[in-house]
Amino acid sequence: MRITLTSVLVDDQAKALDFYTQVLGFEKKHDVPMGDSAWITVVSPQARDGVELVLEPDQHPAARPFKEALVADGIPFTAFTVDDVEAEHTRLAAAGVVFTQPPTRMGPVTTAVFDDTCGNLIQIQSPVSE
Amino acid sequence: MDDADALFKALADPTRRALLDALSERDGQTLFELCARMATAHGLTSSRQAISQHLDVLETAGLVTRRREGRYTFHDLDTAPLAPLRERWHHPDERTPR
């Protein structure tokens, strides 16, 4: 058994695909029509054969209250690893991305939290370089 | 409970003082960030709910304000309630006119 997929619940798949590719820099890997929606995955250009992120529609009635409650408390349900949180913060903020937490040392890692515009907060993290 | 009681009650707890320490580093922190700081920088393992309740006590004392911005809630430090403490007690020598 291997972990090859993980999901993020998005309020609009087209908007999410734009954000996750154009802004964050991931690449579309799959886009399979599935009735009202599609099965869309993106991958990191640094790991095209790595874990795929599924842009999952948040249409279930329980999904949005769950997401809103997490956002209200500033909780990122999903986290990505980056080489340099400070550099990513600078790049993404310049692209208009809203951060609820700027780069901050949290023990062995530096973290920052941003809004993915699709109803989620996302944490980026990198090891602290001493 | 008068204002001073609420203030001293709020200050009479190490986790609440640690929350004020964390907020003195930067205003505008989410509950998530404060919990992360408590766990990493302050070695405290309180639950998110416990931290939230501590913030309620600090808010009642006027030391913390919660600020809603869209879908987010941020916490800010307000040190104004501490100022009267500094003015309340003076050593008798300080009161003597020179």
Cβ of residue A107 closer than 8 Å to a chain B Cβ: yes
- Other Cβ atoms less than 10 A from the Cβ of A21: the count is 14
Phi/psi of residue A62, each to 5°? -85, -15
- Residues B93/B47, Cβ–Cβ less than 8 Å: no
- Residue B69's pLDDT is 93
pLDDT at position A110 over 80: yes
pLDDT at position B87 over 70: yes
Determine the residue of chain A that is closest to B30 in CA distance: A74
Cβ of residue B40 closer than 8 Å to a chain A Cβ: yes
Phi/psi of residue B34, each to 5°? -65, -40
User: What is the arithmetic mean of pLDDT over A89-109?
Assistant: 96
pLDDT bin (cut points 50, 70, 90) of residue B15 is very high
Q: Starting at the edge strand that comes first in sequence, how are the strands of the sheet with A5-10 ordered? A: A5-10, A52-57, A37-43, A27-34
Q: Say yes or no for a CB contact (<8 Å) between B36 and A72.
A: no
Cβ of residue A96 closer than 8 Å to a chain B Cβ: no
Q: Say yes or no for a CB contact (<8 Å) between B41 and A107.
A: yes
Superfamily of domain A5-127, CATH level 4: 2,3-Dihydroxybiphenyl 1,2-Dioxygenase, domain 1 (3.10.180.10)
pLDDT bin (cut points 50, 70, 90) of residue B98 is low
User: What is the arithmetic mean of pLDDT over A25-41?
Assistant: 95
pLDDT bin (cut points 50, 70, 90) of residue A33 is very high
Measured in angstroms, the CA of B68 and the nearest CA of chain A are apart by 9
Q: Say yes or no for a CB contact (<8 Å) between A72 and B33.
A: no
User: How far apart, in Å, are the Cα atoms of A34 and each of A42, A58, A74, B56, B58?
Assistant: 17, 15, 32, 46, 50
The secondary structure of residue A98, as a DSSP letter, is P
Measured in angstroms, the CA of A12 and the nearest CA of chain B are apart by 18
CA separation for the pair A41, A25 (Å, rounded): 13
Q: What is the total count of domains within chain B?
A: 1
R_g over Cα of chain B? 16
- Residues B49/B20, Cβ–Cβ less than 8 Å: no
Range of the domain at B89: 3-95
Q: Over pLDDT 90: what percentage of chain A?
A: 95
Determine the residue of chain A that is closest to B29 in CA distance: A101
Q: How buried is B36 (Cβ within 10 angstroms: 0-12 exposed, 13-18 middle, 19+ buried)?
A: buried
CA separation for the pair B32, B83 (Å, rounded): 29
The secondary structure of residue A44, as a DSSP letter, is B
R_g over Cα of chain A? 15
CA separation for the pair A22, A26 (Å, rounded): 8
CATH number at residue B32: 1.10.10.10
- Residue B96's pLDDT is 62
Q: Say yes or no for a CB contact (<8 Å) between B73 and A74.
A: yes
- B contacts of A122 (beta carbons < 8 Å): none
Query: Could you give the ipTM of this predicted complex?
Result: 0.88
The residues in A 38-77 lying below 8 A from B, measured between CB atoms, are 68, 71-76
pLDDT bin (cut points 50, 70, 90) of residue A130 is low
Domain segments of chain A: what residues? 5-127
- Per DSSP bridges, beta strands A109-115 and B64-69 are unpaired
